[in-house]
Amino acid sequence: MARVITLRDALREGMSEEMRKDPNVFLMGEEVAEYNGAYKVSKGMLDEFGPKRVIDTPIAELGFAGIGVGAAMNGLRPIVEFMTWNFAVLAFDQIVNNAAKTLSQSAGEFRCPILFRGPSGAAGQLAQQHSQTFESWLANCPGLKVISCIDPYDAKGLIKSAIQDDDPVCMMESEILYGLQGEVPEEEYYVPIGVAAVRRTGKDVTIVSFNKMMEVVKSAAVELEKEGIDAEVIDLRTIRPLDIRTIVESVKKTNRLVVVDESWPFAGISSEITYQVQKYAFDYLDAPVTRVNAADVSLGYAPTMVQEYLPNPEKVIKAVKAVMYR
């Protein structure tokens, strides 16, 4: 039976269910315990699981990420929360050079079952150093799995799969959408890593996106329908491994593709999808693949600059019409 709950509640439920089943699972990060989480995702977890399994850390991302990696190599299953992935840049040495490479460096002798999670991307007027999107940074590294979603159903199912995964997983969330509501079943379930979701079926154009840009794409699709353009909308859910098969099958039907990606255009997820679609479905394309990205600059503080910087429904609609009416 499905209930309507928020994204933060879905994440909390997923973590709590796995912690109840496995005493080796624990949560650590800045303000996750006494303060109930910077975004209240871990509200009440300290009371249930105690201070040995819900652990407040100092403001030292490199340090506590390293503790998590060491714990994972010794049989535990840590969940490491970053207040924002912008702060996790300090911990990339542990994520990229240790967690991601543990299996290969040990010739398969050691695994690193760890989940790194927190919000990625712009969140209003937070300016340059707190508004970056990190999916492409992390997905570039072999050995890491990267999840990026905002749907509460998917978030719960994916975080449970990530906690049980024997490899390091990076979960990218959105701090401005923790209150987003959606239907989530009461019974236990899992969402597999590496499978995209078709959110809307259509015949004229395929629009691919992920994370909070899905809200932008869905709004654009509604407006396009009013003009007689039937868009198929695909939510990646997982960035790596990328479900290119679902995208290619859609493009074979619609013959047109627009990729909406909040990150910068150079060397981003949209670039990789464009390359792979042209590799596997070039003969099916009736127009070049078009991308809608953030502006290729650091994000300013002023609200007018934020609006101009980010993809929005109007930009998506313009891109769709460009591939439709060539």
Q: Which residues participate in catalysis according to the annotation?
A: 61, 130
Strand 257-261 vs strand 290-293: parallel, antiparallel, or unpaired? Answer: parallel
CA dist 79 and 325 (Å) reads 48
* CA 320, chain centre distance (Å): 24
Per DSSP, the three-state class of 15 is: helix
Q: What are phi and psi of 311, to 5 degrees?
A: -60, 150
Residue 262 near residue 292, CB atoms below 8 Å: no
Tell me which residue of 279, 242, 245, 274 sits closest to 260, measured CA to CA: 274
Tell me which residue of 3, 6, 64 sits closest to 39, measured CA to CA: 6
